[in-house]
Amino acid sequence: MKFDKIKVEQFKNNTTAWDSFVQSANNGTIFHTRKFLGYHPPGRFQDHSLVFIKKGKTISLFPSAEVLEDNKRWLISHPGASVGSLVVRENLAFSDALGLVDLLISYANKNGFDGIRLTQPPTIYSKRLSHYIDFALLQNGFSYVKREISSVLFLENSITENLSKFKSTHRTAVRKAEKSGVEVKLSDDFASFYEILKKNLSIRHGVSPTHTLDELVYLKELFPDKIHLFGAFIENKMVAGVVNFTVTENVVLAFYISHDEDYQESRPINLLFYKIFEWAIKEKFAVFDFGIFTVDEKPNMGLARFKENFGASGQFRDTLAIRL
């Protein structure tokens, strides 16, 4: 089956047009924008993003990069973003979905790539739910590399309604935090939060945060209305925090969550999320994404239960690939 009406070209610095399309797209997120991808220092990634055009109009974008793995050249979803894949317009036709994937494979073959790998945004990130691209990928020979699970909470019309979704242990923990004098507020003290995060990740997983402190502060400067740090304080000392990214107009993602284990008995994280949900409801968001609790499909059962106790359920964050 051939689809000759769609053309593809490599992205050439038209940042304004790119970000405008992402904003109006069906599944565009903050991670797809050039503004976000551009914060990385030159040379960190070899960008090879693509623009798909039909009848003179952009119908899709693929933020991507070239990487060399085991002496094989891959075209992959941009490594500087949590999710990627094809950004598509809201009214994408089924035939165009098939055409896009067909053309993507043809382009990769002609340009000497040995494979393509991409990570789909969870379906909750879409304005109009559609699995056209998923179907087209599988139809054209892609297969799942991994299927991670992200915890998502659907927000109700009031915090009282969301509180009723909490397990009784979490409701008790919220009250305990309030009685312990925990105060939750928006904060710009990324340095204090970063120290908590760094210590926590080192103790629990032996790793460092994805971003440096300078990068996190720079991202906040780039997106002052889309990145928010909520801190939990005891006697003006930050003891826990959550960095939220406004991913779409409807979805908020908890990008970093961390707490000082010395203050765990005061249950600051429980009150922190309660207050974040309250804020998100007032801001008219529909979904709160806690992020994945699996790594390479291995679940952290304690983390899964913790998020479920707020009323969260699971959504796939899929990575698919094809060898050419």
Q: Are residues 183 and 105 in the same domain?
A: no
User: CATH no. for residue 279?
Assistant: 3.40.630.30
Q: Are residues 135 and 215 in the same domain?
A: no
Is 304 domain-assigned?
Answer: no
The token duo for 318 is 């899929």
Looking at residue 202, its pLDDT comes to 59
Q: Are residues 173 and 124 in the same domain?
A: no
Using DSSP, state whether 152 is helix, strand or coil. strand
Q: Are residues 142 and 221 in the same domain?
A: no
- The DSSP H or E segment spanning 221 is helix 213-222
Looking at residue 39, its pLDDT comes to 83
Q: How many CB atoms lie within 10 A of CB 128?
A: 11
91-105 burial code (b ≥16 CB/10 A, e <16): ebeeebbbbbbbbbb
Q: Are residues 137 and 238 in the same domain?
A: no
**Virtual torsion, Cα 20, 23, 27, 30, nearest 10 deg:** 100
Q: Are residues 166 and 264 in the same domain?
A: yes
Is 291 domain-assigned?
Answer: no
Per-residue pLDDT of the chain (324 residues; tens, 9 = 90+): 556 689 999 999 899 999 999 999 999 999 999 999 988 777 788 999 999 999 999 999 999 999 999 999 999 998 878 888 999 999 999 999 999 999 999 999 999 999 999 999 999 999 999 999 999 999 999 999 999 999 999 999 999 999 999 999 999 999 999 999 999 999 999 999 999 998 887 556 566 778 889 999 999 999 999 999 999 999 999 999 999 999 999 999 999 999 998 899 999 999 999 999 999 999 999 999 999 999 899 999 999 999 999 999 999 999 999 999
Number of domains forming the structure of the chain? 2
Q: Are residues 143 and 174 in the same domain?
A: no
Q: Are residues 195 and 220 in the same domain?
A: yes
The residue range of the domain holding 198 is: 156-285
Is 208 domain-assigned?
Answer: yes
Q: Are residues 129 and 160 in the same domain?
A: no
CA-based end-to-end distance of the chain: 18
Q: Are residues 163 and 33 in the same domain?
A: no
Q: Are residues 134 and 175 in the same domain?
A: no
Looking at residue 45, its pLDDT comes to 87
Q: Are residues 10 and 143 in the same domain?
A: yes
